[in-house]
């Protein structure tokens, strides 16, 4: 089920529920949404492991996954993932609402069929478009509270969409040889590191600027604004630092792409903590609230 990946999804789901509610949402609703979201994401990840078991076996980073080691059989993984997909959809539909259920199912289907089966092994833009599945939790969290999807939720969706390449490409740079061995055309496999770093910088700027769009659209205050500006500036500094090292022709040991990978998780956490706390400690910005 890849629980560590699910943690990132929950980091974005819960804060959006606070913003949609304008305060603390009903705790039972939060629990129902988190359980359903965890089961749905677990289903997608399990089916991903089932489909990718051949390339997982030849990549050092994934060689210990249960289907590779034989801890779980392919048939068992397929049955488990399929069952989770059904249970999660019914759970969300009955205990949250059917819009949230269909959004979760759409994310699952797109991740399994769109990313894993169609894009991952065919294009270097796999993580760009495939990453859209990881953006869905913000829409699910918002719809769980309101029964609708708003512009604020869509802006946060786009923040994560632009965040995904600068988050994942540094990891791909670190494990370039793994992906090359598995014949997966991640961008660092098919392009020079300096080209990858330039795209990382471009997506990073798009991400930060999009995060600032929530200030007028979402009527957020100082808490979110400070979190977005400070974390955004630090993220851009780290992205440009990576580009500078790439232009200097640094090797992987000096390039240190994992610094940006790890900081990208910190960035997302800080930003969405700001999303959650802003409606609780709302300090209006002059002229906007």
What is the domain class of 1-149 according to CATH? mainly alpha
Residue holding tokens 């999660």? 88
Domain coordinates of the chain in residue numbers? 1-149, 150-289
What local confidence, expressed as pLDDT, does residue 108 receive?
97
Same fold, 1-149 and 150-289: no
pTM > 0.85: yes
The C-alpha atoms of residue 217 and residue 277 are separated, in whole angstroms, by 17
- Express each pLDDT in 77-88 by its tens digit: 999 999 999 999
Sign of the four-CA dihedral 219, 221, 227, 228? positive
Rounded alpha-carbon distances, angstroms, from residue 42 to 4, 46, 47, 64, 185: 10, 6, 9, 18, 25
Tokens coding 257? 């792409």
Domain 150-289 has CATH 1.20.120: yes
CB 274 within 8 A of CB 226: yes
How does the average pLDDT of the chain come out, rounded?
A: 94
Using alpha carbons only, give the angle 63, 69, 75 rounded to the nearest 5 degrees: 115
pLDDT digit string (tens) for 105-145?
999 999 999 999 999 999 999 999 988 999 999 999 999 99
């Amino acid at each position: 089920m890849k629980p560590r990946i699910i943690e990132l999804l929950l980091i974005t789901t819960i804060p959006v529920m606070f913003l949609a509610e304008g305060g603390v949402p009903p705790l039972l609703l939060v629990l129902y949404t988190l359980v359903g979201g965890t089961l749905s994401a677990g289903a997608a990840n399990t089916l991903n492991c089932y489909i990718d078991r051949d390339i997982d076996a030849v990549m050092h980073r994934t060689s210990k996954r249960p289907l590779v080691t034989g801890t779980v059989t392919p048939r068992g993984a397929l049955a488990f993932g399929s069952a989770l997909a059904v249970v999660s959809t019914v759970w969300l539909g009955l205990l949250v609402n059917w819009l949230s259920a269909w959004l979760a199912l759409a994310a699952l289907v797109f991740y399994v069929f769109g990313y894993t089966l169609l894009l991952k092994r065919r294009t270097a833009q796999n993580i760009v478009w495939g990453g859209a599945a990881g953006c869905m939790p913000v829409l699910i969290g918002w719809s769980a509270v309101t029964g609708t999807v708003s512009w604020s939720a869509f802006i946060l969706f786009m923040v994560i969409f632009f965040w995904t390449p600068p988050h994942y490409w540094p990891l791909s740079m670190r494990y370039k040889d793994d992906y090359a061995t598995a014949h997966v055309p991640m961008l660092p496999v098919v392009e020079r590191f300096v080209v990858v770093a330039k795209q990382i910088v471009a997506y990073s700027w798009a991400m930060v600027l999009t995060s600032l769009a929530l200030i007028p659209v979402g009527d957020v205050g100082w808490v979110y604004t400070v979190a977005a500006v400070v974390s955004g500036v630090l993220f851009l500094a780290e992205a440009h630092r990576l580009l500078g090292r790439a232009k200097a022709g640094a090797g992987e040991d000096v390039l240190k792409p994992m610094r940006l990978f790890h900081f990208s998780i910190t960035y997302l956490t800080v930003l969405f903590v700001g999303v959650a706390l802003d409606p609780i400690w709302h300090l209006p910005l002059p002229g906007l609230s």
